[in-house]
Amino acid sequence: MTSAHSHPGFLGFIKRWLFTTNHKDIGTLYLWFSLIMFFIGGMSAMLIRAELFKPGLTLVTPEFFNQLTTMHGLIMIFGAIMPAFVGFANWMVPLMIGAPDMAMPRMNNWSFWILPFAALILISTMFMDGGGPNFGWTFYAPLSTTYGPKSTDFFIFAIHMMGISSIMGSINIIATILNMRAPGMTLMQMPLFCWTWLITAFLLLAVMPVLAGVVTMVLADRHLGTSFFNAGGGGDPVLFQHIFWFFGHPEVYIIILPAFGIISEIIPTFSRKKLFGYASMVYATMAIAVLSFFVWAHHMFLTGMPSVGEIFFMYVTMLIAVPTGVKVFNWISTMFKGELTFETPMLFAIAFIVLFTIGGFTGLMLSVAPADFQYHDSYFVVAHFHYVMVAGSLMAIFGGVYYWLPKWTGHMYSETLGKLHFWLTMIAFNITFFPMHFVGLAGMPRRIPDYALQFTEFNQLSSIGAFTLGLSQFVFVYVIIKTIRGGVPATAKVWDGAEGLTWQVPSPAPYHTHG
């Protein structure tokens, strides 16, 4: 067989990766890109934690500290987590539904190759005159309009590019899932990962234009003399928050729904038992997606909404606990009376269920508006969203990588090293983020470079945990590279409990499958 995908030399390398329209290549590119961004975002987190190791300004200036928190948030959300899930979708959706490739391979190429340039533009702002964006990833006006640094315009452009990339990616995923399923596979027979991604893609289509709109309004306020968000010109700073969070809350579910999908693949495999309630999982995902459009103002309880508004958004936010509970109960019922083994993907999936549920509990606490007045903008919130985004999305990503790595590379990873990575991550994560609940409740606001003395001990603990967490990720990189280079050959099925079309193609999955 002549392999169309091997080109010698540098030019060959460019031809292979820059011009590729193969869903597996593009999936791989997304995943590597995400890993690099994860380390860049992680580096800014390490600097933040180093500064917060003790009271007083020690390492960085408050101005630079604000740039670090902004960059950390933007890179982790738009650079690390979202592209990782798109990478999984590219690799796995065609394999799972029996399609030879994505529906629109050329657009697929484009939607990936926009990303590295967007990321470069975003990162380059840190080196610009006046510094990078320093208003937090939420870029509230008028801090980002009237008071934003010059580089804000580059930030806006980068966000636009990432948005275009996401929209094209989601169009592609929707078209693939709706049109290219193997004959006889109905929607309700698809693996749950495809379902969660289908719903996520619709969420992306709905809210990315809203994000594009709000950054464009910021741009207009900065340069075209408009006053959308400028009270001095008759505008409304709170309007910014309404538009931003109308994007921002569905975005939260964009970041978690594909993780639900991955966990729903892993748990049945290692429990050797069918997912307890497939249909109710699908409906719960839909319910979460629909509700996500009606809860945005719970991020704005302090802006002085009328009581009725506070009450409405509190009720709808609380309601999200119901479908989320359904998911958790389903996973646990799947494990119950199963035949459990604890390979690395399963360990990450179990950690996901426990820690994500803790994040869900604090989310429920945050939904209670009067109590939110105390939690809001404190470290309690920082703890909450790291429990859902790191222990939630990121651990699902780790689990997914270990779960499918043998299918991608044809080699089994080292279980010992995988477990080492798991336990280091699991312990360090909790040492880092659990104490943040305490300092937040005790009154420490988020996004401050220096703090009152009563917060010292817990901050030190967090910093020590964070450095451990950061270093542990080198184990992950080592495992990946080692597995790509060689190892025990993987069978087609890889896991004895695995089911579905994915596990019928050989490992590594051939360059062209289901042709």
Partner 1 sequence: MAGMLTRSLLILLLVSGEAYANFTINMPSGVTDISHKVFQLHMVVLWICVVIGVLVFGVMIYAIIFHRRSLGHKASNFHENTKIEILWTVIPFIILIAMAVPATITILEMDDVADSDLTIKITGYMWRWHYEYVGTNVAFMSDLSTPYEQIINRAEKDEHYLREVNNPLVLPINKKIRLLMTGNDVIHSWWVSELAVKKDAIPGFINETWTKINTVGTYRGQCAELCGAKHGFMPIVVKAVSEQDFAAWMQAQQQITVEPHQ
Residues in region 310-349 near partner 1 by CB under 8 A? 310-311, 314-315, 318-319, 321-322, 325-326, 328-329, 332-342
Q: Select from 36-44, 289-297, 429-437, 487-495 the region that touches partner 1 (CB under 8 A).
A: 429-437
DSSP per position, 237-261: HHHHHHHHHHHHHHHHHHHHHHHHH
Task: Please indicate whether residue 3 is annotated as part of the active site.
Answer: no
Asked if 410 contacts 490 with a C-beta cutoff of 8 angstroms, the reply is yes
- Return the residues of window 251-290 that contact partner 1 according to CB under 8 A: 271-280
Query: Which entry of 196, 446, 451, 463 is annotated as an active-site residue?
Result: 446
Q: Identity (one letter) of the amino acid at 248?
A: G
Annotated active-site residue in 327, 376, 384, 421: 327
Which residue lies nearer to partner 1 by CB, 408 or 455?
455
Residues 6+ apart with CB under 8 A from 339: 271, 272, 273, 497
How far, CA to CA in Å, does 49 sit from each of 174, 389, 390, 446?
40, 18, 16, 13
* Residue selected from 4, 18, 63, 223 as contacting partner 1 according to rule CB under 8 A: 63
Min dist. Cβ of residue 455 to partner 1 (A): 8
Catalytic option among 298, 411, 437, 514: 298
Distance separating alpha carbons of residues 310 and 64, to the nearest angstrom: 35
Question: Is residue 429 near partner 1 by the rule CB under 8 A?
Answer: no
Instruction: Evaluate whether 59 touches 44 at the Cβ level (below 8 Å).
Output: no
Say whether 13 sits in a helix, a strand or coil.
helix
What tokens were used for 376? 């809001």
Stretch of 95-103, 188-196, 406-414, 450-458 contacting partner 1, by CB under 8 A: 450-458
Q: Which of 24, 181, 222, 299 is catalytic?
A: 299
**From 110, 137, 140, 478, active-site residue:** 137
Q: What is the 3-state secondary structure (H, E, C) of 268-308?
A: HHHHCCCCCCHHHHHHHHHHHHHHHHHCHHHHHHHHCCCHH
* 347 Cβ neighbours under 8 A, 6+ residues apart: 399, 419, 422, 426
Query: Is residue 445 helix, strand or coil?
Result: strand
Catalytic one of 324, 334, 463, 513? 324
Identify whether 51 is a catalytic site residue.
no
393 catalytic residue (yes or no): no
Q: Which is nearer to partner 1, 19 or 342 (CB)?
A: 342
377 is catalytic: no
CA distances from 490 to 93, 207, 390, 493 (A): 20, 40, 29, 8
Q: Is residue 464 near partner 1 by the rule CB under 8 A? A: yes
Query: Is 512 assigned a catalytic role?
Result: no
CB neighbour burial string for 3-17, b if at least 16 within 10 angstroms, e if fewer: eeeeeeeeeeeeebb
The Cα 471–Cα 49 span in angstroms is: 13
456 binds partner 1 (CB under 8 A): yes
String marking each residue 66-85 x if it binds partner 1 according to CB under 8 A = x-------------------
Which one is catalytic: 23, 24, 49, 72? Answer: 72
CB nearer to partner 1: give 27 or 418.
418
Nearer to partner 1, 80 or 349 (CB): 349
Q: How far is the CB of 377 from partner 1 (least distance, A)?
A: 4
| Closest CB to partner 1 among residues 28, 69 | 69
Give the x/- contact pattern for partner 1 in 97-136, rule: CB under 8 A. Answer: -------------------------------------xxx
Q: Which of 166, 176, 409, 513 is catalytic?
A: 166
Q: Is 278 a catalytic residue?
A: no
Stretch that binds partner 1, among 15-23, 60-68, 181-189, 501-509 (CB under 8 A): 60-68
Give the residue, chosen from 4, 14, 18, 57, that forms a contact with partner 1 under the rule CB under 8 A: 57
Both tokens of residue 198?
């289908």
Q: Is 475 in the site for partner 1 (CB under 8 A)?
A: no
* Binding window for partner 1 (CB under 8 A); candidates: 53-61, 106-114, 195-203, 390-398: 53-61
Please state, in angstroms and rounded to a whole number, the distance separating the CA atoms of residues 437 and 72: 20
Residue 72 designated active-site: yes
Mark residues 135-154: x for contact with partner 1 by CB under 8 A, - for none: xx---x-xx--xx-------
Nearest to 331, CA basis, from 365, 360, 302, 367: 360
Instruction: State whether the Cα torsion 138-125-116-47 is positive or negative.
Output: negative
Rg (CA), the chain: 22
Q: Is there a catalytic annotation at residue 404?
A: no
- The yes-or-no answer on residue 160 being catalytic is no
Task: Check residue 59 for interaction with partner 1 (CB under 8 A).
Answer: no
Structure-token pair, residue 104: 């629109």
- CB-nearer residue toward partner 1: 93 or 351: 351
Q: Indicate which residues carry an active-site annotation.
A: 72, 101, 137, 165-166, 249, 251, 253, 264, 298-299, 324, 327, 446
